[in-house]
Every structure is written in structure tokens, then in C-alpha cells.
Structure 1
């Protein structure tokens, strides 16, 4: 069994699917649109779950760990963005994650979590 916590990235293998996390995270561009599945190098990003964190790896990059269950209580942190053509409410996973994905994919990107 496997599932994909980050939309269009590598699947988490050998783990029972948790529907709370299936495609919960996604990547957006500067226009607040989710990036397409055919974005170069996107399929090379691998995701594991370790001790409540997404452990994200890509060739020639250090591992990036993102806490899975952070409770957002600051209404100012929420944004309306487009995910696969649908408007959704999401929160950014921060500057470090944005920098990591931007460097690897060669374009300005932010990692968002649906809320």
C-alpha cells in the first residue's frame, strides 16, 4: 500500500493509507496556482513519514522535515489558493520549505497544507 501526502510527489510506501494526509500538501507557484504534475524533477521528490514528520528528499538536496500535525490558530496565516482548479483554504509551510522546493525545482514555489 502507498499514498501521496504531497500531491504529485513520490508516494509513501509500505504504509496504510491515511485519508487525512492523502494529497493534503501541494505546491503552488507565484500565481497561487498548484503546479502541474509534469513539472520537471517533481517526480524525483521522495516522501517518507518519520515520527510525525514528512521527511522529504530529492537528489543533491538535504532532507527537509515538516511536522504533519501543526494546529494553525492564526487566521492571518490562512490563504485562498487554487489547487487542481479548485479554490481551497491553505496555510504555507514556511520560508524554509519554500526555499527548499524553489531551489530544487528552479522556480519560486511554496509548500501549502490544506486546512
Structure 2
């Protein structure tokens, strides 16, 4: 029987995730205590998004959920407390920020917060938060015309992977004399145990209680899986191993691992580690 084996929330895009036992599934992705996945993001002085691709030390920025704040820690720095309440509309500071081809309105967090994150990654940056009045939707090219909402994810509200898929990749890594990878190198939100290796590639949908996750696009991989999430240091890049068996012709031979998903039913459904999952194949 397939089960949901891992849930991970990433409050700040490209920073460390928070492993949780349960979460609320919304059409825009996972939410825990009203904190949404990729609700915050770092941007440069031009308002363009930043990731571990350029700043691998972002992996060391570790958020933690508190009752009224998002606590953030980084090695050698005092902790930072980010209020969870939205700013007063009369005093809010906003920025138009860029993420891929989208421009989105965001709240601009204060100068003290900007200085903290700039010190943490070693480059000027600001922390922004997805604006309550903003809207960003997925590309309809892969969703069958559905405009699914998302926040500051690369493009889709949920990334799903199978644990057997990582096991197969690691078999090949070890056979090549490499160290196996932990799942956090691939940064999925949802991990499913009990399905075959890369069987998620061929799923029409996954049912988790009343919720349905529909895989719509393979996740093309960049160099981030080479970054050790415990040290923030890039190591041997696994993409050469993945290239030997994970290229997708439909995506111009992009190297893929995991499936980007949209939510087609069950907005507000509670997900929990250990819950049964039913996979329906697309053929």
C-alpha cells in the first residue's frame, strides 16, 4: 500500500525546509498554521529572485514556525523573528519582484531584515512576502488549460517524488563510486512510499483522502541537488548520473526528477504522514 511518507514546507524560497507531520493542502500548495509554502523570497537590488543556484549558503537559513513569528537562524548569527501578521495597509512597503517570467507585487520586509539576510548569504538582498492582493498562476501549457495558483515556487504549487525513485538513483550513485543523496537534495514537498521507482511519472492523479494531486510536468533539474543542504557547500553534481537515465525528450532532454503537481480536489484537506495514498495511472 502506498503511503505519504514525508511532508516538507519551504516558507522561504530556496532556504531550508521544515519537515512536518501534517499540513493543510490548498490550491496554492502546502500550508502549516497559515504559513504557506514559498510565501517569502529573497530578491536582489533589482527585485529579481535569488536561489541556491547563485547562493548555496541559502541552504543554511533555517526557518521555524512560532505562534506569532517565523523564526529564522543561520550559522554564527543571532536569530531573527519575522512577524506572521500582515502589515498595516496604510504603512505597508511594497515591491514589484521578478520570478522567472512573472512580475508579482510583494511586501517589502524591513531594512533590519534585509541586513540580516544580506549578511547570511554574503550579498545584498531583501526579503519579500507574497502580497495578499497578488495573483500568480501556473503555465497552462502543462495543466490542460487550468490556471492553478502558486506563490513563489518555480512554477507549480506542489513537488512530489517517490522514495523508490531516490533509491534507484542512489543505487546508480553508489555503483559509480558516489555517496548516496538524501531526499532533501531534491527538495520535494510530498514524498510517496510504496510505489515503483519513477512510477509517479506515469500517474494521472494521487488521491489522499478527499484531495487529489495531479502531476502535470516533470521537474527539470538545475545544479541545486549538488548543494549539501547541511553545509551549504556544493559537492559532486549528481546530474551526470541522472543524465544517463533521466532525460525527457518532451522537455528538450531536460534531466528530470519528481513531478510538479496541481491540486484538482480537496482544497483545505488535512494531509498527514502515514496516510494512505491511491495512485491512478494515466493509461
TM-score (norm 2): 0.38
1:30 counterpart residue number:
45
Shift of the 79–14 alpha-carbon distance from structure 1 to 2, 3 Å rule, reads same
Pairing of 1:1-115 with structure 2 (within 5 A)? 1-15=7-21, 16=23, 17-18=30-31, 21-38=36-53, 39-74=55-90, 77-115=93-131
Greater share of strand:
2
**C-alpha displacement at 1:22, in angstroms?**
1.0
Q: Secondary structure at the match of 1:6?
A: coil
CA RMSD of aligned residues (A): 1.8
Q: Any stretches of 5+ residues in structure 2 without a counterpart? A: 1-6, 24-29, 132-283
Whole-angstrom distance in 2 between the partners of 1:44 and 1:84? 23
Aligned residues: 115
Shift of the 75–86 alpha-carbon distance from structure 1 to 2, 3 Å rule, reads farther
Could you list the structure 1 runs, at least 4 aligned residues long, displaced by more than 4 angstroms after superposition: none
> What do the CA deviations read for 1:43-93 (whole angstroms, capped 9, x no partner)?
111111011211101110110010112244037622211124310000111
Shift of the 30–74 alpha-carbon distance from structure 1 to 2, 3 Å rule, reads same
Cα pair 2:11 2:36 within 8 Å, conserved: yes
**C-alpha displacement at 1:36, in angstroms?**
2.6
Q: Secondary structure at the match of 2:98?
A: strand
Q: Any stretches of 5+ residues in structure 1 without a counterpart? A: none
